Amino acid sequence: MITILTSRMKVILKELMATSAPLTSNKLADRIQVTSRTIRNDIKALNEVLFKSGGFIKSTRGKGYQLEVSDNSRFKDFLQNMSEKSLSNDTPASPEERVIFILRKLLLANGYIKLDDIADELYISKSTLNHYDLIEIKQILKRFKLTLESKPHYGIKVIGDEMQVRFCISEYVFNRTKVPIETHHSDDILPKEEIDKIYTIILQEVKANKIEMSDVALNNLSIHFAIACKRITSEKYVLLAQEEVEEIYHLMEYQVAKQIVAKIEAALHVSFPESEIAYIAIHLLGTKKIAKINIPPQEFDAFVDHDVREAIKEIIFKVDERLKLQLVEDHELFIALGLHLQPAVNRLRYGMNLRNPMLDEIKAKYPLAFEAAVLASKVLQERLAITIDEDEIGYIALHIGLAIFRKKMEQGVKRCIIVCATGSGSAMLLKYRLQSKYPNQLQVVDTIDYYRFNEVSLAQIDFIITTIPIETKLPIPVLYVNTILGSEDLQHIGHYLQSINKNKRGFLKEDLIFLHKDLQTKEAVIQYLSEKLVTAGYVTASFCHSVLERERLSTTSFGNMVAVPHPLEPFSPETFWTICTLKKPIDWEGNRVQFVCLLSIGEDKKTDLNHMYEHLIDIIEDEQKVKQLIQCEDNGQFIEMINGML
């Protein structure tokens, strides 16, 4: 008889406690990603415990399962006792936990593992294992160019390049956000004291050799050393081509790797062949950094290869051309990208991963910077023939995001000129009155007479304040005020300053809102919306292909039921949104999506994309707002609601 609850039983109980309505076995099975049969078996076992604890799960034909409590006091004691006790059976409950549990088991195994053994250990059927868990595991392994080999009567095991196996282990066995290192299965890799020894030896040697390294990079190197020790003792070696070893052999990093290896061999009684030392040297190449941003030009050129510098120039140019971020003059961005990308390129040439724990947050909070980084990844792939994954795109986005913030700070103060017909005295009075009223928002660049107006360049001017009508058509806004500023004039200027900082610019079009559509896949959604845009004459026929190509580089689903797909390049004169809500959520690269905002970034250089994204983030970050918009029944209601949110 069962006396404890597995994690999955706890989840079932929690689901039943959360509702007064019956839940079918199919609904419970769908939530936990197991079969209905597994749910029925779990509930049968769960009732054995609940009978003694003042509770019972009642089954009603045609309706489902419902929790009934006959003794509140005993049931309350049972729940208290259950929450205080740690599970003696640490079985993963959710589908995601289960997949990671099985993957770790496969990665750390020396041979085949039988499916029956895995199913029994996890209290699931082989059907669940085959139809959900192994499919997900194969998708993960595919990222590392690894596969699952199945052998009758033996089971399954992971096969592929040894270097990629180690990358996968570092990703899914270790918790690399912790300093010092934590591992979920440390005894299966190395005892903790041996991992600590490795960390200490590496720290001593990188300090002695004056190699700059971040805490995360130091952790990563320690992890890969620990994995190397484990795999070498199992006679699993990294194999590098002789020419690759010779290419690394003359580098300073190879000598440092030899020093570290010598000390670890003595401490842990393990022997590293030459190819393994070269493998460690590659890690050193990919993790060292120069910390100073004000690096002298000669030192920068020595650290960053010519081809990388040229790629960065093209990145900044293309980002400016496509997204109008005005970062071409940002020398700090050029230096920061160079110092980041040189070691990154060294890593990526050997297919080495560097996990980005901030990736989801970067994508959700800084979509414009991430989009610029996607453009950067294309340039790097084309120029340097290296594959850039989402994690690396996220790191590049951080540097571009900082540059966007710097530019935003520069642009926070709006520049104007004052045109006044009554002389310099009244013009200066206007100037000082305005600058004292709006010291952090407004800079009066000049005060001029009307007859001199045509002599002034408006290139760096945001708007004009004038006391006299100007008949000429101008490329920038003109505000008319009285010579002696009144409260209405100040209010007029104040409202204008607010509006240019928070201008919605009409990104939403009523004829481009499509509600409650019955579409089943992301491709179907993108195809449907693209066809609507082509038919209406907003974009050309190649728009859909560009959106799908962008989607292949990195998914545009951000959680919260939202996806924001868009093409790789401008297809329209202006920037606008195309909205689609779905009858039911669909799978969008692992996220459930029911609200789609298809962006078309325009060629209009005056559109402030940063503010556009800020408006969009205000909506998609708020789960309640998204739900309200999904529930809208018609376009008029949708526009009224979304305008109230912006």
Token pair recorded at residue 209: 């050799």
Picking from 641, 643, 576, the residue whose alpha carbon sits closest to that of residue 609 is 576
Task: Output the average pLDDT for the chain.
Answer: 85
Tell me the CATH number of domain 297-396, given options 3.30.70.20, 1.10.1790.10, 1.10.3720.10, 1.20.120.350.
Answer: 1.10.1790.10
State yes or no: pLDDT of 413 exceeds 90: no
- Of 495-509, 579-593, 629-643, the range with the lowest mean pLDDT is 495-509
In three-state form (DSSP H/G/I as H, E/B as E, the rest C), the secondary structure along 154-190 is CEEEEECCHHHHHHHHHHHCEECCCCCCEECCHHHHC
* pLDDT value, residue 262: 96
Q: Which CATH class is domain 95-160?
A: mainly alpha
Our measurement of the distance from residue 599's CA atom to the centroid of its chain's CA atoms, rounded to an integer in Å, reads 18
Which comes out higher in pLDDT, residue 296 or 516?
516
Q: 446 in helix, strand or coil? A: strand
- Of 61-65, 164-168, 172-176, 620-624, the range with the lowest mean pLDDT is 172-176
Q: What is the residue whose two structure tokens read 């971020």?
A: 325
* pLDDT value, residue 4: 66
CATH number, domain 412-501: 3.40.50.2300
Which comes out higher in pLDDT, residue 481 or 457?
481
> Does this model's pTM top 0.85?
no
Name the CATH superfamily, with its identifier, for domain 508-645: Mannitol-specific EII; Chain A (3.40.930.10)
Dist CA 332 CA 129 (whole Å)? 51
State yes or no: pLDDT of 384 exceeds 60: yes
Dist CA 140 CA 301 (whole Å)? 38
Please report, for the chain, the start and end positions of each structural domain, with discontinuous segments joined by +.
7-84, 95-160, 168-287, 297-396, 412-501, 508-645
Picking from 448, 482, 444, 490, the residue whose alpha carbon sits closest to that of residue 463 is 444
Confidence at 538, pLDDT banded by 50, 70, 90: very high
Dist CA 40 CA 65 (whole Å)? 10
CATH number, domain 7-84: 1.10.10.10
Contacts of 377 (CB under 8 A, 6+ apart): 388, 392, 393, 396, 553
Dist CA 265 CA 269 (whole Å)? 5
Dist CA 641 CA 646 (whole Å)? 9
* pLDDT value, residue 257: 94
State yes or no: pLDDT of 184 exceeds 50: no
* pLDDT value, residue 178: 42
Q: Same CATH topology for 95-160 and 508-645?
A: no
Q: What is the pLDDT of residues 70-125, one digit of tens each?
A: 888 888 888 877 765 544 445 676 678 888 889 999 998 989 999 988 887 777 77
Picking from 272, 280, 340, the residue whose alpha carbon sits closest to that of residue 304 is 340
Q: Tell me, what DSSP letter sits at residue 571?
A: -
Q: How many Å from the N-terminal Cα to the C-terminal Cα in the chain?
A: 58
Dist CA 43 CA 31 (whole Å)? 15
CATH number, domain 168-287: 1.10.1790.10
Mean pLDDT, residues 362-372: 88
Q: What is the pLDDT of residues 273-321, one digit of tens each?
A: 999 999 999 888 887 665 555 677 777 888 889 999 999 999 999 998 8
Confidence at 582, pLDDT banded by 50, 70, 90: very high
- Of 74-88, 322-336, 481-495, the range with the lowest mean pLDDT is 74-88
Our measurement of the distance from residue 439's CA atom to the centroid of its chain's CA atoms, rounded to an integer in Å, reads 37
* pLDDT value, residue 179: 40
Confidence at 181, pLDDT banded by 50, 70, 90: very low
- Of 185-189, 471-475, 547-551, the range with the lowest mean pLDDT is 185-189
Q: 210 in helix, strand or coil? A: coil
Confidence at 440, pLDDT banded by 50, 70, 90: confident
Q: What is the pLDDT of residues 209-238, one digit of tens each?
A: 988 887 777 888 898 899 999 999 989 999
Peptide bond into 180 cis (omega under 30): yes
Q: What is the residue whose two structure tokens read 């556009």?
A: 612
